[in-house]
Amino acid sequence: MKNLLVLILGYGLGLTVFGSAYESLSLAIFLFLLFRLIFESNNLFAFREWALILYSMNYLVAPAITYSQPSDLIVYGMKIGADQYYSLALPGFICFAFGMYIIPTRIFYFQTKKIEQGAVLNKKLLIWVTIITLIFKFISNLVSGELSFIIYLSSELRFVSAFALLLIDRKLWYWSVLVLMQELASAFLAGMYHGALMWIIFFGIYFVYVYKPRFRIKVLGLVSIVTFILFIQAIKVVYRSQVWSGGRSASIETVIDVSSQQAKSDEVLGQDNLLATLNRGNQAWIFASTVDNLDRTKNFQGLTNVNKYLESALLPRFLAQNKIKSGDKEIFNEFSGHIINESTSMGLGIFADGYIAYGAWGVYIFGFALGLIFSLTFKLIERWSKISPFYVLLLLPLLNYAVRPDCELQTTINHLAKGIMLYGFLVYLSRKRFTLD
């Protein structure tokens, strides 16, 4: 009953704000998911809810706000009308959500006490895993080729072990703080913040499920994260311009200097920063541009691009010397209707890839297929968790990139395929240490 009431109230609010049925339904869906994240997160590990919130923000709410704003305020405008856009995006989103829920799973209701029992006997091992994988993080940029990605995936285990340590002994909280602060420091120095923000939010979802804080604590945490995101957006452009092209060094001193300059309420909460954050979170403009471009060129590809993604993810380079590289912009430049260079980070996203393949039906099929891939991944991790509930935490590094709406399909497939192989092998090697027989 509460869920239905939230949907009705959200739809009514949408009609008041936007005056359109499509945009109103989009806002209602977002508020429903946000309601579940806030009120149900004590009772379930709200990973799916967070993934759907990300997609609804990027593909439903952000474009609704964009359509309602004067064109001179929008950097990345929508190249197709709202009716055409939402006739694609809303069914695509629903298909994606349906795919995520189609296979029943209990993985999001894991029993923390069992994880604690499975990990407490291995406290020293978990500490060493955290230390070693932190070292992997520092050396990952020094290694090239296929090995670099294996080291990167291994380094992601520092979050798993640190979070497990927090669960088995609250006095070991500093390990979680250490890995999160290291991730934040790296993000600030590099001027690339998405990964660090994602891990902070993952930690927040995990912390809420484990410790079940009161409502006001969760609201305070949510407000703090939103404010932090706005703060990062306020300093990001200035920091990048000074370090990447302004001659200043990427150092803590530069970070502090830029942060102190931009840490003003009018900079963080001002209209310019709010619009810039909206533009950054609007993956829909790339989707809309792709639709506009394909409607003109009729250059639909079927599964040609997907085959290229699979080749890149599954075959080593000595077997496929001409396979596309991670971050390669060739496909983006050909189909999005925009030209970007290698230093610019943009991806087509699952709905754009679907439209490139089969038009409108491709959006619905690809959305459902990605959700189904997630469901199958949940079941695989659920199977691992039957060895020990401790392995549930592998969900986080395995789907870290895959849940991002701006992630290239190639990166999603690559990350999932290699992550499943590596983490599955590690589960096999360590299974006897965590089994509760």
Task: Identify residue 105 by its one-letter amino acid code.
Answer: T
Largest Cα–Cα separation, the chain: 65
How much is the pLDDT for 237?
72
Structure-block tokens of residue 2: 């509460």
Tokens in use for 93? Answer: 């989103």
| SS3 track for 121-153 | CCHHHHHHHHHHHHHHHHHHHHCCCHHHHHHHH
Q: What is the pLDDT of residue 59?
A: 93
Q: How far apart are CA 313 and CA 334, in angstroms?
A: 21
Cα–Cα distance for residue pair 74/135, rounded to 1 Å: 42
Contact 289, 338 (CB under 8 A): yes
Low-confidence ranges of the chain (pLDDT < 50): 436-437
Q: How many CA atoms lie within 13 A of 142 on its CB side?
A: 5
Three-state helix/strand/coil letters over 63-80: HHHHHHCCHHHCCCCCCC
Smallest Cα–Cα separation from 355: which of 346, 364, 347, 368? 364
Whole-number pLDDT of residue 407:
81
Whole-prediction pTM value? 0.90
Q: What integer pLDDT is reported at residue 280 of this predicted model?
A: 65
Question: Could you give the CA distance from residue 435 to residue 437 in angstroms, rounded to a whole number?
Answer: 6
Q: Is 279 exposed, middle or buried (0-12, 13-18, 19+ CB in 10 A)?
A: middle
pLDDT tens-place string over residues 166-225? 888 788 888 899 999 988 888 777 777 788 888 999 999 999 998 888 888 988 988 888
Residues with Cβ within 8 Å of residue 301, at least 6 apart in sequence: 335, 356, 357
Phi-psi group of 323: left, alpha or beta (phi > 0 → left; psi -120 to 50 → alpha; rest → beta): beta
Q: Are 6 and 31 spatial neighbours (Cβ–Cβ below 8 Å)? A: yes
Q: Are 367 and 350 in contact (CB under 8 A)?
A: yes
What is the per-residue pLDDT for 356?
92
CA distances from 297 to 131, 300, 301 (A): 53, 8, 11
Centre a 10 Å sphere on the Cβ of residue 76 and count the other Cβ atoms it contains.
18
Tens digits of residue pLDDT in 272-306:
666 666 666 678 888 998 999 899 988 888 888 88
Residue 246 burial (C-beta neighbours within 10 Å; 0-12, 13-18, 19+): exposed
What is the per-residue pLDDT for 272? Answer: 64
Residue 16, exposed/middle/buried by CB under 10 A (0-12, 13-18, 19+)? exposed
Note the pLDDT of residue 269.
60
The C-alpha torsion from 364 through 366 and 371 to 375, rounded to 10°, is 130
pLDDT tens for residues 61-70? 988 888 887 7
The distance in angstroms from the start CA to the end CA of the chain is 42
d(CA 40, CA 427): 30
Residue 274 has a pLDDT of 66
Q: What pLDDT is stored for residue 91 in this prediction?
A: 95
Q: DSSP characters for 214-279?
A: -HHHHHHHHHHHHHHHHHHHHHHHHHHIIIIIS----SHHHHHHHHHHH-SHHHHSSHHHHHHHHH
Q: Where are the domains of the chain?
A: 73-108+282-434, 112-279
What is the structure's pLDDT at 317?
Answer: 66
**Nearest-angstrom CA–CA distance, 407 and 349:** 6
Give the DSSP per-residue string, 92-111: HHHHHHHHHHSS---GGG--
